[in-house]
Amino acid sequence: MKKIAVFFLTLSLFWTSVAAEGSYIVISGNDGNVLEAENEHEVRSIASISKIMTAVVALENGDYIDQWIIGDEVTNVTGSMIWIAKGQQVSMRSLLYGMMLKSGNDAAVAIAHRVGGGSVERFVKMMNEKAAELGMKDTEFHNPNGMDVEEEGNYSTAYDMALLMQYAMTIPQFREIVATQYYTSEWGSRWKNSNKLLNNFEFCTGGKTGFTNRAGETLVTAAQNGQLEYIVVTLAVPDRWTFHEQKYRRAMETCELITLQPAGKIEQEGYYAQLDEPFEVVVKKEDAGQGQYTMTLDKTKNELTLCWTDPSHTVVKTLAAVKPPRRFCFWRWCV
């Protein structure tokens, strides 16, 4: 028994030292609740996990079935490649798979050039605009692939990248791509997903790997168990695969989903609001009894606000509220 206790103590100290070297975060994909984190706001080089944003911007601004001929834009690209060449016909779909599964830097540049209207710089501006929209306050992109070139690499935090992954997983095509283990392009290239958790961890639903000498190993993954989805981000954390799996198993043991309000019509002081999806929150089991759920009607703004607060987070949802006009009734007839 003493040996077992010493083993787990050693393991605990190991993970503590691992976290101290880099930064990480574990969040609920359902509502963004931060379940565990260390150095999560420390700005670091992020390497190829930058391509998550490249995929998001491409899917939202490009044509998924687009096809075109590659020009000079990939001539000087280096690093991880899918080896597309000038004069080759490609498709947006296959380039996205090549970028996310094989981490093709040439695919990322080709996508950026196409969606940016012939300008990679314009596409990078779109990446930064999307980051600002998502609240990624400590993020700056300089290229679509994550390469560290002098001082022009991409910089972010574990927290910001978790926000990005949470958003990206709401896009059906993105979810499909990152969950794919093998893909064959229309020109015959076949790629295996570099995310090892897809094979080794039954709950994994996708992710993106990254590495440069400056960034070290970076990794963003998502996992789902029943209705609960989780996201883990690590920057410069060794043994990233084991680390992610351990964090997922811990989260799955300690968290639960609570439905606070079922979908449907809500009535409050004569006002009505429509809730299209259940209002649900993810809480740590130890915090569930300490949470408070409130509904607040603002008659001046015609809004109904649903709010949950517990020791670890607050979730707010605001709905439009309408008060039906009074009906005039005389005896048996109402108009």
**Binding site members for substrate:** 208
Residues in the annotated binding site: 208
User: Could you give phi then psi for residue 92, rounded to 5 degrees?
Assistant: -60, -45
The per-type count for the chain, helices as H runs and strands as E runs, is: 9, 20
Is the Cα dihedral 85, 89, 92, 94 positive or negative?
negative
103 is catalytic: yes
Burial 9-37 (b: 16+ CB within 10 A, else e): eeeeeebeebbeebbbbbbbbbbebebbb
Pick the catalytic residue from 45, 48, 185, 194: 48
Pick the catalytic residue from 23, 28, 103, 194: 103
Q: Count the neighbouring beta carbons within 10 Å of the beta carbon of residue 85.
A: 10
Pick the catalytic residue from 23, 28, 50, 51: 51
The two tokens of residue 160 are 């910001």
The two tokens of residue 84 are 């597309």
For residues 8 and 23, is the Cβ–Cβ distance under 8 A?
no
48 is catalytic: yes
Return the half-sphere exposure (C-beta side, CA atoms, 13 A cut-off) of residue 310. 17
**3 state SS of 181:** coil
51 is catalytic: yes
What lies within 8 Å, CB to CB, of 331 at 6+ separation is: none
Which of these, 266, 284, 245, 290, lies nearest to 31 by C-alpha position?
Answer: 284
As annotated, the active-site residues are: 48, 51, 103
